[in-house]
Chains A and B, each alone.
Chain A
Amino acid sequence: MSSTNALKHRQACLVITLAILGIWFLVSLGCSILFREWMDLNMPPVGNAPFGFWMAQQGSIICFVLLLITYAVLMYRLDSKYGYLDSQHESIDSVDSLE
């Protein structure tokens, strides 16, 4: 592996990580704590629950699961693009695909 390849991979990985963390912060500490009162008042309620309250008790957890799935898929694509999947140069056992 050339070092420019590694550097590019690392930069792309950093972009994904920061994007995931940005959404993570927004749905949890943002919607559910910092801007909760505003969300409760101005966003449509979820069923009978105020939006901010629902995000704090249910919505954020659902988002976390979705975030991790997105991360795993994006990183799988990134790794295969840069040839970093173990199966690409070792082929000892088949790695079952995420997609």
Chain B
Amino acid sequence: MEQSTLNFIFIGISFAIYIGIAFKSRASSTKEYYTAGGGVSPLANGMATAADWMSAATFISMAGSLAIGGYDGSRFLMGWTGGFVLLTVLMVPYLRKFGKATVPDFIGDRYYSKFARGVAVVCAIFICMTYIMGQMRGVGVVFSQLFGIGIPAGVLIGAAIVFFYAGMGGMKGITYTQVAQYCVMAFAYTIPAIYISIALTDNFIPQLGLIGDYVAGGEYVPFLEKLNAINEELGFSHYTSGSISRIDMFFITAALMCGTAGLPHVIVRFFTVKDVLAVRKSACWTLAFIAVVYLTAPTIGAFSRVNLIEKLHETTYVDAPKWFKDFESTGQMAWVDKNDDGIIQYYGPAKSDTNSNTVFAGKAPAYPVAGSATDVLVGKHKQRLLTNEVITSNPNELWFGNDIMVMANPHMAGLPPWVIALLMAGCIAAALSTAAGLLLVLSTSISHDLMKKIIKPDLSDKEEVAYARVAALVSLIVASYFGINPPSAFIAKTVAFAFGLAASSFFPTLLLGIFAKRMSREGAIAGMICGIGFTMGYIVYFQFLGGTKEQYLFGISPEGIGTLGMLINFATAFLVNTVSPPPPPEVQKMVENIHIPSGAGEASEH
């Protein structure tokens, strides 16, 4: 059977399951709709939260950045799991006790100010927008692969499906749909890893294979040593050492961790469980389920790196595997025959004096318009030609987008077609569940927190829903635009910016709101504005206005600047707090009350 037919069958079956579950749960209980976790065990809720949490960035992009960066990729691994520890011990039990439905609700009440609520809404919109951009890019990558089309068309098809999916309304509220999605994702991620681990290391547990021996070459060598040797030979830094500076690595990881603890759409998940005790249990399950995928990602990254180099480096283009040509046709891999020998060469920055391995000028390959003369479109080895200016100061001839690593992986390892089809279904589940969830949070932020609570308090329910629909549509259009023209070369990095924004705005403000009784609204508002303003400015300057690496503050890249923004937020808040009046007594009493875990009551609905 054709690969594409099989892909559609698997995706079709998974969708049928989601929709089936959604309808079944909906019919049996309408009351459960709003208090989703009420009748659901912490285990199921944890699984659902894990599905919500694992986005296209995790699923598609993270293993790719691990493959490219080796140790450097650990920032995503630790950042996105370590944040859950902060979230669980510092945030959600207290916010759950407080009992409001959204994060701006808490900030508005705790800081007794409409203005604070307004600032929080604006922060939430920026964070969710940046996050959705990354998801739309991920959806685009998947659909471009599925239909064999370019990424822009893939993004547009994905956007249409996400809009329809989120518009089905009940979907998100029904936890069991996400339980099914988690299962699809977990299998889609681990099965290819197990296959490849057996092939390369003769060990069916990928995590043991990673620290075991490489056997595919006939002799036994430690796998990581083999990888380091390959990297060194081709002019890359050691796989186990990486190339990001220590201070940057520290700041990026810290920004991802604190950002996780301040992400509105994750915090909201924990508002729907029964009580504070269930919040803690649910968080345990969530992280345990996430860990299944996160412990597998480094193995996929390392295995695919070996496979990629073994299959492509020093291979003649004519003999290159079919999947390489498929990715070439969708514009996700490209080959420029610099030395005109018909052989693909892949080299790292250390192989040239300029310390770069850029194949061509520009972020992505550009192609001649269709219908041009054949000799402009196709080279003499039948390779696809580019219009980009070729950079000849280094010998590297191979370009590929980091985001395709996970999807290329089973092809490279020659896995059976059904494994590839399962992977496609998993990718789509990951991107859709997160994008739809974010869209929901974003649109309620606008309709509920902004319109109803600040601008027009007399808004009817019907109008509120209408505003939410319009907000969702507008956000999706903006996100699709940035999905086609991403602010960064790959998904995980775009998403990392969202975490930086969350770390510099919500994390300190929520933390102070919970633990510093004396913190006044003036302090909190000044902190939020300075924190997110600084972080946003830094990211925009370096991603869009052409700032160069030499201008980095203390050598911190835009990905990690959220940590500095967070420190600025804390400092500003404390400074302003010393000269502003203390909060009214009823607010101080409320802060004391959220530290008592019992009597959390029903979570209020949106």
CB pair A50 B240 closer than 8 Å:
yes
CB distance from A69 to the nearest CB of B (A): 5
| A58 surroundings in chain B (CB, below 8 A) | 207, 210, 295, 298
Q: Which of A9, A20, A28, A34 contacts B89 (CB 8 A)?
A: A20
> Binary interface profile of B, 69-98, with partner A (CB < 8 Å = 1, else 0)?
001001001100110111011100100000
Q: Which of A16, A17, A75, A84 contacts B596 (CB 8 A)?
A: A84
| B275 surroundings in chain A (CB, below 8 A) | 86, 95
CB distance from A39 to the nearest CB of B (A): 12
Main secondary structure of the interface of B (DSSP, over half): helix
> Binary interface profile of A, 79-93, with partner B (CB < 8 Å = 1, else 0)?
100001110111000
10 interchain pairs, CB-CB under 8 A: A36-B246, A49-B210, A49-B211, A49-B240, A53-B240, A57-B210, A62-B295, A64-B291, A84-B596, A95-B277
Given A1-B596, A24-B85, CB of A29 within 8 Å of CB of B223: no
CB pair B78 A13 closer than 8 Å:
no
Query: What separation, in Å, do the CA atoms of A54 and B450 have in the docked complex?
Result: 46
CB pair B277 A48 closer than 8 Å:
no
- For the complex of A and B, 6 pairs with smallest distance between CB atoms: A47-B211, A48-B222, A56-B74, A57-B298, A72-B280, A84-B598
Select the residue from A28, A54, A67, A69 with max chain B CB neighbours within 10 A. Answer: A28
CB distance from A15 to the nearest CB of B (A): 12
Query: What separation, in Å, do the CA atoms of A19 and B210 have in the docked complex?
Result: 32
| A9 surroundings in chain B (CB, below 8 A) | 595-596
Q: Which of B281-289, B342-350, B565-573 contacts A (4 or more CB under 8 A)?
A: B281-289
| A72 surroundings in chain B (CB, below 8 A) | 280-281, 283-284
A98 is an interface residue with CB less than 8 A from chain B: yes
Closest partner residue, chain B, to A71 (CB atom): B89
**Residues of chain B at the chain A interface (Cβ within 8 Å):** 66, 71, 74, 77-78, 81-82, 84-86, 88-90, 93, 207-208, 210-213, 222-225, 240-241, 246, 249-250, 253-254, 257, 275-277, 280-281, 283-284, 287-288, 291, 294-295, 298, 592, 595-600
With A28-B253, A57-B74, A68-B88 known, 8 other A-B pairs at CB within 8 A are A24-B85, A32-B74, A33-B249, A48-B211, A53-B74, A54-B211, A56-B77, A88-B598
Select the residue from A13, A50, A61 with max chain B CB neighbours within 10 A. Answer: A61
CB distance from A14 to the nearest CB of B (A): 9
| B222 surroundings in chain A (CB, below 8 A) | 48
Query: What separation, in Å, do the CA atoms of A1 and B223 have in the docked complex?
Result: 59
Q: Which of A32, A33, A64, A76 contacts B287 (CB 8 A)?
A: A64
Given A61-B81, A85-B598, A89-B598, CB of A68 within 8 Å of CB of B283: yes
Given A48-B224, A54-B211, CB of A61 within 8 Å of CB of B295: yes
Query: What separation, in Å, do the CA atoms of A31 and B537 have in the docked complex?
Result: 32
Closest partner residue, chain B, to A53 (CB atom): B240
Closest partner residue, chain A, to B515 (CB atom): A14
CB pair A47 B85 closer than 8 Å:
no
Query: What separation, in Å, do the CA atoms of A84 and B93 have in the docked complex?
Result: 13
CB distance from A20 to the nearest CB of B (A): 5
Query: What separation, in Å, do the CA atoms of A88 and B275 have in the docked complex?
Result: 13
| A13 surroundings in chain B (CB, below 8 A) | 595
> Binary interface profile of A, 39-63, with partner B (CB < 8 Å = 1, else 0)?
0100000111110011011101110
Closest partner residue, chain B, to A3 (CB atom): B592
| B284 surroundings in chain A (CB, below 8 A) | 65, 68-69, 72
| B276 surroundings in chain A (CB, below 8 A) | 79
| B212 surroundings in chain A (CB, below 8 A) | 47-48
CB pair B291 A98 closer than 8 Å:
no
| B84 surroundings in chain A (CB, below 8 A) | 64, 68
| A49 surroundings in chain B (CB, below 8 A) | 210-211, 224, 240
| A29 surroundings in chain B (CB, below 8 A) | 78, 250, 253-254
CB distance from A12 to the nearest CB of B (A): 11
| A40 surroundings in chain B (CB, below 8 A) | 240
| A89 surroundings in chain B (CB, below 8 A) | 598
Given A6-B592, A58-B298, CB of A65 within 8 Å of CB of B240: no
Closest partner residue, chain B, to A97 (CB atom): B277
CB pair B291 A53 closer than 8 Å:
no
Query: What separation, in Å, do the CA atoms of A17 and B277 have in the docked complex?
Result: 15
| A64 surroundings in chain B (CB, below 8 A) | 81-82, 84-85, 287, 291
CB pair B277 A76 closer than 8 Å:
yes
CB pair B71 A53 closer than 8 Å:
yes
| B77 surroundings in chain A (CB, below 8 A) | 56-57, 60-61
Select the residue from A46, A67, A89 with max chain B CB neighbours within 10 A. Answer: A67
Query: What separation, in Å, do the CA atoms of A1 and B250 have in the docked complex?
Result: 43
Query: What separation, in Å, do the CA atoms of A69 and B212 have in the docked complex?
Result: 29
Closest partner residue, chain B, to A47 (CB atom): B211
